[in-house]
Structure 1
């Protein structure tokens, strides 16, 4: 069932992100579309949630007041897939293929394939490309990221810092800057990042993945888990090879 509401007190994108994050934390909420224009919240839930409970959740986000809009409920057919799995994830699959292909070509011109060198190049290009998409709409990324990341939920500014961390890691891998430190930072940062992703996927929350910023509307799925896990695994392997 889907309900529409008005939320008083929101004045900016940060307010929207905080309100959305708290609503999505409610167990029976499967999706929440929050915006500054009325009706300001369209919430899909597994079973009816009283307005009082929604208000309690929003109080944790700020001085916001929620009321039903136009009777509150409208009947909507269950959302259908707009395309196949391949069509949905085509952008991230193409990017992954380009990064893999380009870095394999770099190794192909050498006399001998070097796994360590390939992983360094792969991670350099990966972080540079993914940070580009996040930085192309920094505010949009921060708002989306705050809906599931464990740090961004508590500190909205983390969504503004994270893309620059990815950019810095990409440059560090590219110039081979202090490999032990670079891989250690990657292992910790991506290890923290994957927690929120796992929570969202396991709880079957239908939210937008922020891996490509706000440029592509990709749903959170096991693809995101694989992406983060790959970075954790590569940085971990390289750390073991150097220690």
Structure 2
């Protein structure tokens, strides 16, 4: 469908996929709602676009992908892609920063920046839709189940801890105490909650670690996120006490 108000993205994607596969495409644009309704009635279909190869109807964009042997992800299919994208990007961000600001390559410093960047990135995902995050978080977090307000505070607390760590990595001062304490607290509660839900109660849940509506399964990834906050909090406290 191609009108001044709407250009169908699935039509463009279908055309691109066909051309990438070497097909010559005879593109029939539906330029009004009436044309679209008439097309649907003629071919007894519910959606457009529809692809025909050699006169045989293949179907919509998902059907076309399946025709070429591509996997089409279902709505409820679990995936680790969001967290892989976040951790890969924050690892590279930390790498770029360490290469530019430090001599040599101090591994421990890179790890600190990587953890801090990751915490902020994960907090940003939650802050996009706090209500959606809380809906998922209440499914397993022990403290949020007792005090729903904690679920609404959590994304801000995680952002505070991550940003605080970024500010303090190279300049330890008294502010370490609130930053590290918040990180250690929310990380510990989160880790205990995940262990209980997944490894003790054996529940299959979606993780709220990248915000509401994600299809990341609750388990190792969420546990890792919380362990990272625990480690960073404890690490910063240990360094602070060693300096005083």
Q: TM-score range by the shorter chain?
A: 0.5 to 0.7
Partners of 1:130 and 1:90 in 2: CA distance:
13
Larger radius of gyration: 2
Partners of 1:185 and 1:142 in 2: CA distance:
19
Q: How many residues align?
A: 159
How far apart are 1:116 and its partner, in Å? 5.1
Corresponding residue for residue 240 of structure 1 = 238
Say if 1:211 and 1:224, in contact at 8 Å, map to a contact too.
yes
Q: 3-state SS of the aligned residue for 2:211? A: coil
Corresponding residue for residue 185 of structure 1 = 182
Partners of 1:146 and 1:220 in 2: CA distance:
13
Corresponding residue for residue 132 of structure 1 = 124
Corresponding residue for residue 61 of structure 1 = none
1:96 aligns with 2:87: yes
Q: Which runs of 5+ in 2 are unaligned?
A: 1-72
Corresponding residue for residue 227 of structure 1 = 225
The alignment's TM-score, normalised by the length of structure 2, stands at: 0.59
1:152 aligns with 2:144: yes
Q: 3-state SS of the aligned residue for 1:212? A: coil
1:195 aligns with 2:192: yes
Say if 2:190 and 2:223, in contact at 8 Å, map to a contact too.
no
Say if 1:194 and 1:228, in contact at 8 Å, map to a contact too.
yes
Root-mean-square deviation (CA, aligned residues, Å) is 2.1
How far apart are 1:113 and its partner, in Å? 3.0
Say if 2:136 and 2:208, in contact at 8 Å, map to a contact too.
yes
Q: 3-state SS of the aligned residue for 1:105? A: helix
Q: Structure 1 residues 207, 198: closer, same or farther in 2, change over 3 A?
A: same
Q: 1:141 aligns with which of 133, 138, 148?
A: 133
How far apart are 1:197 and its partner, in Å? 0.7
Q: Structure 1 residues 195, 204: closer, same or farther in 2, change over 3 A?
A: same
Q: How does 1:50-61 map to 2 (within 5 A)?
A: none
Give deviations 1:145-167, integer Å, cap 9, x for gaps. 11110111111121111111112
How far apart are 1:200 and its partner, in Å? 1.1
Question: Counting strand residues as a fraction of each chain, which structure ranks higher?
Answer: 1
Question: Counting helix residues as a fraction of each chain, which structure ranks higher?
Answer: 2
1:175 aligns with 2:163: no
